[in-house]
Chain A
């Protein structure tokens, strides 16, 4: 598998560690969230047949966390973004 790193270009998947669903970016605030909300964040994942947004970490590389949009059916990589940019776009800051 090859991931087209937005900063470094095409890199072999062996350089990366995969974490899973990119919804892990959307962490509720622990002081304000309801238990159910935090439970869903920690345990509940979609498992789609088709497009899936996943977190990949370039551990043997520049240590960027990436959001890779990938088809679980064909393994085609559709889009690769820096997770930091995605997090900011989803309203995360400090």
Chain B
């Protein structure tokens, strides 16, 4: 297909023809086109359907403010909905399709919504579909959901790569139009480190779209020359295709660079890079956005912003129509007629609102054929260029506390209130609407900043240009409007909706926005907001100044979630920590489970085992009968040293530590200041002034943080120092009746007899002829057991050596599941019981809380409500029918009581199948549980559909007297 609407001139490269597919049809464009300009060159006026009424829509703008031309880009998993055709650079093989229609674009079945428009006005979803009530879930909601939204998600993982980056500079210039180029040039010449960012792929902004001259050359040539000088400068960095989307605290800006979106094949390079830019100062030179006016059927394809018409004609060499009518309220719109005339395009009429003329209505269905004027005349035209004035792009000035203020001369909101610190604004974004003034202002701002920052080189002089005339008069909606007139094209908000919002009392701008959804679409109402406010002011009989404006939040334009995620996705979502025996475990059939960031062996599958239970039962049994080895490196380890180390421990643990003898380990319980238990572990005293604390795996970071808080903020003069050694030592539990025999083969010159090294003893020693080690006689399983630690670099060898030494005892490695079985059998509490909502008394550890010293949490743990006699107590549970498998989370009920919260007696926290006892056993909290041993109650779990009778018993299912661990 030929490019019927292509005309001479422009900045496209006619030697490079590109083929692209639109709705399955192949067309051509040129290098330098956007999808929008290429579609217009091919005479495609209808490009999409509107959000609510499914009205035919065409290309309305030429930049990121585009409300209509949202398309589905690319195919398969890489496809992206709601991309703006006006910002997509054309590349060979580009594939795009229109959105939001059923059936072909030209005959959308959903267009029936337009006939229903009287029922779909502002707030319709609050008022209609209310009855009959039963219809909501089955009929209305599915219908509304099916018709909501615009584009389609691919529903597949995003195959593209995204990255993050960090940049530092003295001055960030946001926008490379005449103002930004002038400022960046002066700043770079002064010697500042400058970053100039622009969302377009060619710097120059409006200079590329207009016919202005700068320094006696065309604006576009001047922009290219400045760009070349900046590119050659050592201290300037020019970033095209980069949108600064947000201003954050302390001179930090977020920017999205579209790195390979314009290429047919990214070649494995990141598609987009999310930059965090740290800058001492920022200059916002983001220009201004043109807006429309409200007249009948002002949304038809062919109605286009006048500035966009000039962009297509001057920059892209494309005629948006063959006969163009111009409707304007300012001098800027008049230039459109001149530029069209220069290119030989027929100007059907120039309708100047300031002279009392206006467009009443447009005629045509899928594109305008003619316009009807206020005096009844009909003008044949296939394009209507509209200029309702320009709104400064103040968005980034609002990202902290800025509140734009109305400027009657500009007829727009200009920056006001508190700008982000370090930010200045220049050019059209600041309400300086004419060329020469903007260039001078950009230059002046840069010179001022260079002076502030102590730059010493000469900034040069500003480029010379003429000021074009800019005379705007407010004009919002035509008088005597009878047809629907759109305010927000993307969200289908009409003048009627704004009036209705006022009538129904939603009169503040914030209410207007939320009730009508004005400005809440993906374009954040860039071309719509000011018109909407003006109409609300009109309805309320107030000035725009009194009405005020809503403000803007980041992002300036949409940012893909993938860009925020960067490389932190899939297995790189967060780092994995591997235990020292990880490689060995991989070689030996381990299944791994995530425990925080750690990957821990869950069980070790052996040939012939059909499911995980087989492996876990075997591992737990072997520990009780012989010996097992488990990597427990993940437990937090904190080295505590100093003359006051014992005193410090005495204050952070609820139980006493002052008199712990050297060579002994003690179990410790930590409370939060509110008296609730939050962690437990063991602490060993290696010398008078040296302790080693262990914490649970989950709380390792938190406990260390809290200890540092206590040390630095509460008792700053205690002589105590802390260091985390979790990763420094590989630690293994060696548990079972044969553990002593095994370790005797491993440990050098240490008497392991029960007298010499009893339960809760510890020592620094060596293994295998000189490797330094620490040995602790502690037991989580209830068996005779030890934990042995070696420097982490020996961890892998240690695991292999322990297994070899254990061969004669048929030693097994065991994972976290068997660890859990053993501790539940023994009745040791863990994370399921220490949930951050349980007290020492509930856990049966009340006796440990010392009342003869102050410790964190002591005072508030004494509160009456936390010590009621009929409170929850830890108990054990067994099914009366021994073949039943218990479920954690079941609630306890007295027999005969109804199953409701009023009769709740507690809940099951942990369950396991006990190979030792041949049945399922549980731990849980039961009202007065310790007094109810021997009772039978119901364990009721409606979510698991289980209702069983259980017997209350001691939580210590195995060896309640602790004979084995002391043996």
Query: Is B644 interfacial (CB-CB < 8 Å)?
Result: yes
Residues of A within 8 A of B (CB): 1-2, 13, 17, 19, 24-25, 27, 29-31, 33, 35, 38-39, 41-43, 55, 57, 59, 63-65, 73-77, 82-84, 86-88, 92-94
A74, B400: Cβ atoms under 8 Å? yes
Can you list 30 A-B pairs, Cβ within 8 angstroms, ordered by A?
A1-B249, A1-B250, A1-B252, A2-B250, A13-B249, A25-B714, A27-B673, A30-B858, A30-B859, A33-B859, A35-B859, A35-B862, A38-B673, A41-B673, A42-B673, A43-B674, A55-B709, A57-B708, A65-B709, A65-B712, A65-B713, A74-B401, A75-B249, A75-B250, A75-B400, A87-B712, A88-B716, A88-B717, A92-B715, A93-B715
Q: Smallest distance from the beta carbon of A89 to chain B beta carbons, Å?
A: 10
Among A17, A24, A77, the residue within 8 A (CB) of B705 is: A17
Q: How many chain B residues have a CB neighbour from A under 8 Å?
A: 33
Q: Given A42-B673, A42-B860, A57-B709: A92 and B716 within 8 A (CB)?
A: yes
A94, B715: Cβ atoms under 8 Å? yes
**Chain B, interface SS category:** mixed
Q: Give every chain A residue within 8 A of B860 (Cβ-Cβ).
A: 35, 38-39, 42
Nearest opposing residue in chain B for A83, CB measure: B713
Q: For the complex, what is the distance from the CA of A87 to the CA of B249, rounded to whole Å?
A: 28
Nearest opposing residue in chain A for B702, CB measure: A17
B859, A73: Cβ atoms under 8 Å? no
Query: Is B853 interfacial (CB-CB < 8 Å)?
Result: yes
Q: Give every chain B residue within 8 A of A30 (Cβ-Cβ).
A: 854-856, 858-859
6 A-B pairs with the lowest CB-CB distances in the bound complex, closest first: A30-B854, A30-B859, A2-B250, A38-B859, A93-B717, A1-B249
Q: Smallest distance from the beta carbon of B677 to chain A beta carbons, Å?
A: 15
B252, A2: Cβ atoms under 8 Å? yes
Q: Give every chain B residue within 8 A of A87 (Cβ-Cβ).
A: 712-714, 716
Q: Give every chain A residue within 8 A of B708 (Cβ-Cβ).
A: 57, 63, 65
Q: For the complex, what is the distance from the CA of A82 to the CA of B278, rounded to whole Å?
A: 25
Q: Give every chain A residue within 8 A of B606 (Cβ-Cβ).
A: none
Mark out the residues of chain B between 835 and 861 whose CB falls within 8 Å of any chain A CB in the assembled complex.
853-856, 858-860
A84, B712: Cβ atoms under 8 Å? yes
**Chain A, interface SS category:** mixed
Q: Smallest distance from the beta carbon of B383 to chain A beta carbons, Å?
A: 48
Q: For the complex, what is the distance from the CA of A82 to the CA of B854, rounded to whole Å?
A: 25
Q: Give every chain A residue within 8 A of B338 (Cβ-Cβ).
A: none
Nearest opposing residue in chain A for B278, CB measure: A2
Q: Give every chain A residue within 8 A of B701 (Cβ-Cβ).
A: 59
Nearest opposing residue in chain A for B250, CB measure: A2
B716, A93: Cβ atoms under 8 Å? yes
Nearest opposing residue in chain A for B858, CB measure: A30
Q: Give every chain A residue within 8 A of B709 (Cβ-Cβ).
A: 19, 24, 55, 57, 65
Q: Smallest distance from the beta carbon of A6 to chain B beta carbons, Å?
A: 13
Q: For the complex, what is the distance from the CA of A65 to the CA of B709, rounded to whole Å?
A: 7
Q: Give every chain B residue within 8 A of A31 (Cβ-Cβ).
A: 853-854
Q: Give every chain B residue within 8 A of A19 (Cβ-Cβ).
A: 709
Nearest opposing residue in chain A for B251, CB measure: A2
A76, B421: Cβ atoms under 8 Å? yes
Q: Smallest distance from the beta carbon of A34 to chain B beta carbons, Å?
A: 9
Q: Smallest distance from the beta carbon of A21 to chain B beta carbons, Å?
A: 12
Q: Smallest distance from the beta carbon of A13 to chain B beta carbons, Å?
A: 8
Q: Give every chain B residue within 8 A of A17 (Cβ-Cβ).
A: 705
